[in-house]
Amino acid sequence: MAKIKIQKKDIWIDMTPMSDVMTLLLCFFMLTSTFLTPEPIQVTTPSSVSEMKIPESDVLNILVSPEGRIYVGTENKNNMQAMLDAVTDKFGITLTGTQIKHFREDAMIGAPLSKMAEYLSLEPEKMAEAVQKLGIPTDSIDGGKSEFQEWVKAARDANPDIKLCIKCDATTPYKTIKAMMNELQDMNENRYQLITNLKTASEE
């Protein structure tokens, strides 16, 4: 009896070209993209035709949410630490080791000083949630500087070359921005970089 013999074929696929393409793609992504910086809230910046680049270093980011909550932060962790020390010293707040550790891990400052210790005691996962309902108050304290001004001043003291980058949501009412800029103008901080997206030709 003749048996039908199925020939076993070698099903080897050459992966080399695929690997080539992958390497190219990977190189492209690694070279052209920048890492997303974690921000307490997501904002959509308006577009403009300005082609100026944001400075790479010495930047104090001021983030304004559509509801008018203000967050400040800088990339340099040592400056952040110096800012925290300066402000907590002034207001007589003492933080524990874990709280300071949490502060250093946080991307931006966004808690009022009265709730700072409480906020920094939370678990890191809960912090990200809580910060969305907080924000630095801009009301002046006993007729003096506001907390927001104190933080900006501390940042300026920590790094005299710091540049202010303002990142607002496109829908933020001008009222909020006016109040914030007024505070900065009162401190003689008159130069800002407004962060925008590049407008493409089709939007023109």
Partner 1 sequence: MAKKNLSKQKKMDTRVNFTPMVDMMMLLITFFMLCTTLAKPQAMQLTMPSNDENVEKEDKSVTKASHTITLYLGADNKIWYIAGLPNYEDPSCVKETTYGAKGIRDVLIKHTTEEGINPVARIMKAKKELDAKKSAYGSTMTDKQYQDKLSELKKGVVNGQKIPTLTVIIRPLDTATYENMIAALDEMLICSIDKYVIDKIGPEDKALIEKAGVK
- Written as six digits, the tokens of 174 are 């001008």
- Which residue type sits at 118? E
> Rounded to whole angstroms, how far apart are CA atoms 198 and 183?
28
Of residues 94 and 190, the one with the C-beta less far from partner 1: 190
Spatial CB neighbours of 116, under 8 Å, sequence gap ≥ 6: 88, 93, 95
Distance in Å, CB of 55 to partner 1, minimum = 8
- Show contacts with partner 1 in window 15-44 (CB under 8 A): 15-16, 18-19, 22-23, 25-26, 29-30, 32-36
Q: Which of 48, 57, 78, 98 binds partner 1 (CB under 8 A)?
A: 48
Residue 201 CA to residue 204 CA, distance in Å, equals 5
Q: How far apart are CA 56 and CA 111, in angstroms?
A: 26
CB of 33 to partner 1, least distance (A): 4
Residues at the interface with partner 1 (CB under 8 A): 12, 14-16, 18-19, 22-23, 25-26, 29-30, 32-36, 45-55, 64, 165, 167-175, 177-178, 181-182, 184-186, 188, 190-199, 204
